[in-house]
Structure 1
Amino acid sequence: MTLLYTDPVHLAPTDPSLIAGPDGSWWMFYTQRRAREPDGGHRWVHGTDIGVARSSDGLTWEYAGVAEGIDPHPGRNTLWAPEVIRAGDRFHMFTSYIPGVPDQWAGHPRTILHHTSTDLTHWRYDGVLPLSSDRVIDACAYELPEGGWRLWYKDEAAGSTTWSVDSPDLTQWSAPVQAIGGDPHEGPNVFRLGEFYWMITDDWRGQAVHRSVDLTDWEPAGRILDETALGFGHHADVVVERDEGWIFYFTHRRFGFADGVLDPHRLTDVHVAVLRAEGNRLVCDRNAPVAPNYLAQGEIRCP
Structure 2
Amino acid sequence: MRGIPKPLFADPNYHGSCDPEVVWNAGNHEWWIFYTARRATRKSASYVGTPIGVISSANLTDWTFRGYASFDGVPGQPDMPTTHWAPGIIRRGDEYHMFATYKDNAKPPWGGKGVIRHYIANADRLLDGWRLAGVPNLGQPDPIDASLIAVGDEFRCYYRLGGGGGIHWASSPDLDDWTRQGKCQGDVNASKAVTGFGYQEAPYVFFWQGDYWMLTDPHEGLAVYRSSDGITWKTNGTILREPGTGPQDATRARHPSVAVVGERAFIFYHTEPNRPYPTPPAEKRTPREKISYLQMAELRVEDGKLVCNRDAAIDLTGLEQVE
Q: Report the equivalent of 1:167.
A: 172
Q: Shift of residue 71 of structure 1?
A: 8.6
- After superposition, the Cα gap between the structure-2 partners of 1:29 and 1:70, relative to the gap in structure 1 and judged at 3 Å, is farther
Q: Does 1:83 align with 2:85?
A: no
Take 2:314 and 2:165, find their aligned partners in 1: how far apart are those partners?
34
Give the 5 Å matches for 1:86-235: 86-105=91-110, 108-118=112-122, 119=124, 120-121=126-127, 122-145=129-152, 147-157=153-163, 159-179=164-184, 180-182=188-190, 183-228=198-243, 230-235=250-255
Give the 5 Å matches for 1:232-251: 232-251=252-271
Q: Shift of residue 54 of structure 1?
A: 1.2
Q: Shift of residue 262 of structure 1?
A: 4.6
Q: Report the equivalent of 2:34.
A: 29
Do the aligned partners of 1:31 and 1:49 also contact (CA within 8 Å) in 2?
yes
Q: Report the equivalent of 1:258.
A: none
Matched to 2:167, the amino acid is T
Take 2:158 and 2:291, find their aligned partners in 1: how far apart are those partners?
28
Matched to 1:5, the amino acid is F
Take 1:36 and 1:293, find their aligned partners in 2: how far apart are those partners?
37
Residues 30-80 of structure 1: per-residue CA shift (max 9 Å, x gap): 0000122243xxx111100000111111111111110012598xx811100
Q: Does 1:275 align with 2:299?
A: yes
Q: Report the equivalent of 1:68.
A: 70
Residues 65-96 of structure 1: per-residue CA shift (max 9 Å, x gap): 10012598xx8111000112111221011110
Residues 139-167 of structure 1: per-residue CA shift (max 9 Å, x gap): 0000013x11010001013x151101100
Do the aligned partners of 2:213 and 2:227 also contact (CA within 8 Å) in 1?
yes
Q: Does 1:291 align with 2:306?
A: no
Q: Report the equivalent of 1:265.
A: 289
For structure 1, which segment, 109-118 or 178-187, has the greater mean C-alpha deviation from structure 2 after superposition? 178-187
Residues 182-227 of structure 1: per-residue CA shift (max 9 Å, x gap): 3321111111222321000000011000000011110100000111
Take 1:11 and 1:213, find their aligned partners in 2: how far apart are those partners?
39
- After superposition, the Cα gap between the structure-2 partners of 1:70 and 1:251, relative to the gap in structure 1 and judged at 3 Å, is farther
Take 1:82 and 1:293, find their aligned partners in 2: how far apart are those partners?
30
Take 2:56 and 2:321, find their aligned partners in 1: how far apart are those partners?
19
Take 1:293 and 1:38, find their aligned partners in 2: how far apart are those partners?
43
- After superposition, the Cα gap between the structure-2 partners of 1:278 and 1:193, relative to the gap in structure 1 and judged at 3 Å, is farther
Q: Shift of residue 4 of structure 1?
A: 0.7
Matched to 1:117, the amino acid is A
- After superposition, the Cα gap between the structure-2 partners of 1:277 and 1:224, relative to the gap in structure 1 and judged at 3 Å, is same
Take 2:296 and 2:165, find their aligned partners in 1: how far apart are those partners?
26
Q: TM-score with structure 2 length normalisation?
A: 0.83
Do the aligned partners of 1:193 and 1:276 also contact (CA within 8 Å) in 2?
no
- After superposition, the Cα gap between the structure-2 partners of 1:170 and 1:16, relative to the gap in structure 1 and judged at 3 Å, is same
Q: TM-score with structure 1 length normalisation?
A: 0.88
Matched to 2:147, the amino acid is C
Take 2:43 and 2:309, find their aligned partners in 1: how far apart are those partners?
37
Could you tell me which runs of 5 or more consecutive residues in structure 1 were left unpaired when the two chains were aligned.
256-260
For structure 1, which segment, 206-215 or 62-71, has the greater mean C-alpha deviation from structure 2 after superposition? 62-71
Take 2:48 and 2:143, find their aligned partners in 1: how far apart are those partners?
15
- After superposition, the Cα gap between the structure-2 partners of 1:160 and 1:299, relative to the gap in structure 1 and judged at 3 Å, is farther
Q: Secondary structure at the match of 2:46?
A: helix
Matched to 2:138, the amino acid is L
Q: Does 1:14 align with 2:18?
A: yes
Do the aligned partners of 1:131 and 1:176 also contact (CA within 8 Å) in 2?
no
User: Could you tell me the percent identity over the aligned residues?
Assistant: 32
Q: Secondary structure at the match of 2:108?
A: coil
Residues 227-257 of structure 1: per-residue CA shift (max 9 Å, x gap): 14631000000011232200000001229xx
Take 2:236 and 2:322, find their aligned partners in 1: how far apart are those partners?
25
Could you tell me which runs of 5 or more consecutive residues in structure 2 were left unpaired when the two chains were aligned.
75-79, 191-197, 245-249, 276-284
Moved over 3 A (4+): none
- After superposition, the Cα gap between the structure-2 partners of 1:71 and 1:148, relative to the gap in structure 1 and judged at 3 Å, is farther
Do the aligned partners of 1:13 and 1:32 also contact (CA within 8 Å) in 2?
yes
Matched to 1:181, the amino acid is N
